């Protein structure tokens, strides 16, 4: 979609204003039901688009993304928008300036449409916000879009934006990308600035991207300066499949996963990761609860009703938890880092596994606590990962996840693009 629209813009077949109007029309038509956005600045978006069209007429575009409509998760600062993180207690706080990740997209000419829905404080694997509503899956409106970047993933899937920023602390870009049938990239630690992101964990937080395909993620990441311009080498990936994690998914997911791996033709090596993913997830959860409590402590005590009961419970648990539990959590996370360093010794080593253990959950049904069991370990390592929309079961999309070593993002994205092409042929 992005590459096609960039080409159309360059050939004069469409204007940036027309692209913005089309996205705004989708928002106006469908968002009352889907609840992807918290705020939309129609007038500001049209002004940005018209400025892009003037630059293109004058032959001074800012790059490939000039005129491309973008959405931003509401826990990232966007100048002039509420910087709420989906928390009612922060609903009156307005961002004075853009987060660097937002500024990078704006500097490349992208048109910022608005901010997207999330569970309050980004604490949740589904986007069911008590003040802003449940974000529905555009492909399966009776099911969840996932979380915590659910609004961003759903906006891309619904055609309300061509690309979106999200955040990923334990899988919050990849899970909704998988369920909404789009691509979601969690970059390596430190690759995309996290300044201006309402924090959960300095160790685990990343700012990621969502788009329709891996190719579009590459285009966006390069244009925004999140990737160096140097191309990766052309060696094939050495695919590693952690069978002990694959076995934790539903049988139908295992079937489509193994079928896809066979079609890729990369002679996968089956391994056992040897980590308890639930234990890793719980360790990460306590670490982020403790760090988030430090940030939100004053607001939580001043206005406890401004946080959902679920968010309050998570933050208050950190207040009461004994110090030894937190120390143990960091020890577990350090163990994950060591184990992954043993496995991913070169950029060519790529883990392949499903993104989620279950298809999208029906709205109103209990949400399984282990939704992040297949994703959280990557954040503990500081590595890169992507979910690509190539696996679907009867209950909906589930995503194929590829995981690379820290700073292996170029090779990972190229592998994801090639995997998409091979599975589509």
Each of the 425 residues of the chain gets a pLDDT tens digit; together they read 788 999 999 999 999 999 999 999 999 999 999 999 999 999 999 999 999 999 999 999 999 999 999 999 999 999 999 999 999 999 999 999 999 999 999 999 999 999 999 999 999 999 999 999 999 999 999 999 999 999 999 999 999 999 999 999 999 999 999 999 999 999 999 999 999 999 999 999 999 999 999 999 999 999 999 997 666 667 899 999 999 999 999 999 999 999 999 999 999 999 999 999 999 999 999 999 999 999 999 999 999 999 999 999 999 999 999 999 999 999 999 999 999 999 999 999 999 999 999 999 999 999 999 999 999 999 999 999 999 999 999 999 999 999 999 999 999 999 999 999 999 97
Alpha helices by DSSP H, 58-134: 100-107
Q: Looking at 52, 84, 108, 148, which residue is catalytic?
A: 148
pLDDT at 234: 76
Count of C-beta atoms within a 10 Å radius of residue 252? 15
Alpha carbon distances (Å) from 216 to 274, 291, 312: 34, 33, 37
Distance of alpha carbon 299 from alpha carbon 305, whole angstroms: 10
Count of C-beta atoms within a 10 Å radius of residue 4? 12
Q: Looking at 172, 212, 329, 387, which residue is catalytic?
A: 172
* Angle made by CA atoms 125, 117, 278, in degrees to the nearest 5: 10
Q: What is the DSSP letter of 71?
A: E
Distance of alpha carbon 170 from alpha carbon 397, whole angstroms: 19
pLDDT at 232: 60
Q: Looking at 73, 149, 152, 308, which residue is catalytic?
A: 73
Distance of alpha carbon 241 from alpha carbon 339, whole angstroms: 15
Distant-in-sequence, close-in-space partners of 133: CB < 8 Å, separation ≥ 6: 35, 117
108 noted as active-site residue: no
Alpha carbon distances (Å) from 372 to 111, 284, 347, 380: 32, 10, 24, 12
148 noted as active-site residue: yes
């Amino acid at each position: 979609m992005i590459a096609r629209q960039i080409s159309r813009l360059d050939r004069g077949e469409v204007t940036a204003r027309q692209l913005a109007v089309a996205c705004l029309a989708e928002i106006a038509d469908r968002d009352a039901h889907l609840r992807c956005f918290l705020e939309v600045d129609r007038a500001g978006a049209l002004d940005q688009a018209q400025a892009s069209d003037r630059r293109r007429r004058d032959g001074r575009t800012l790059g490939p993304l000039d005129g491309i409509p973008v959405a931003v998760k509401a826990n990232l600062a966007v100048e002039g928008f509420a910087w709420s993180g989906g928390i009612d207690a922060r609903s009156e706080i307005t961002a004075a300036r853009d987060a660097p990740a937002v500024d990078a997209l704006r500097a490349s000419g992208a048109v910022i449409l608005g901010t997207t829905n999330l569970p309050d404080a980004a604490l949740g694997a589904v986007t069911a916000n008590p003040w802003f509503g449940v974000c529905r899956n555009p492909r399966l409106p009776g099911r969840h879009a996932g979380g915590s970047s659910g609004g961003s993933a759903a906006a891309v899937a619904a055609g309300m934006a061509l690309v979106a920023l999200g955040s990923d602390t334990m899988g919050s870009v990849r899970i909704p990308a998988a369920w909404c049938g789009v691509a979601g990239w969690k970059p390596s630690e430190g690759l995309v600035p996290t300044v201006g992101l309402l924090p959960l964990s300095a160790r685990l937080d990343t700012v990621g991207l969502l788009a329709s395909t891996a190719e579009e993620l590459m285009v966006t990441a390069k244009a925004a300066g999140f990737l160096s311009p140097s191309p990766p080498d052309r060696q094939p990936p050495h695919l590693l499949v952690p069978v002990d994690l694959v076995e934790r998914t539903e049988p139908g997911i295992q079937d489509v996963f193994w079928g896809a791996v066979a079609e890729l033709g990369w002679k996968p090596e089956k391994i056992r990761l040897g980590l308890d993913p639930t234990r890793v997830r719980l360790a990460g959860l306590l670490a982020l609860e403790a760090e988030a409590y430090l940030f939100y402590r004053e607001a939580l005590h001043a206005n406890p009703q401004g946080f959902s009961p679920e968010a309050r419970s998570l933050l208050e648990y950190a207040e009461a938890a004994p110090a030894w539990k937190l120390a143990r959590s960091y020890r577990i996370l350090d163990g994950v880092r060591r184990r992954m360093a043993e496995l991913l010794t070169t950029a060519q080593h790529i883990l392949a596994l499903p993104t989620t253990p279950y298809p999208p959950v029906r709205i109103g049904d209990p949400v399984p606590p282990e939704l992040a069991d297949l994703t959280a370990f990557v954040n503990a390592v500081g590595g890169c990962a992507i979910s690509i929309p190539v696996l679907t079961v009867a209950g909906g999309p589930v995503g194929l996840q590829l995981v690379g070593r820290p700073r292996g993002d170029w090779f990972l994205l190229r592998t994801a693009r090639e995997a998409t092409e091979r599975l589509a042929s």
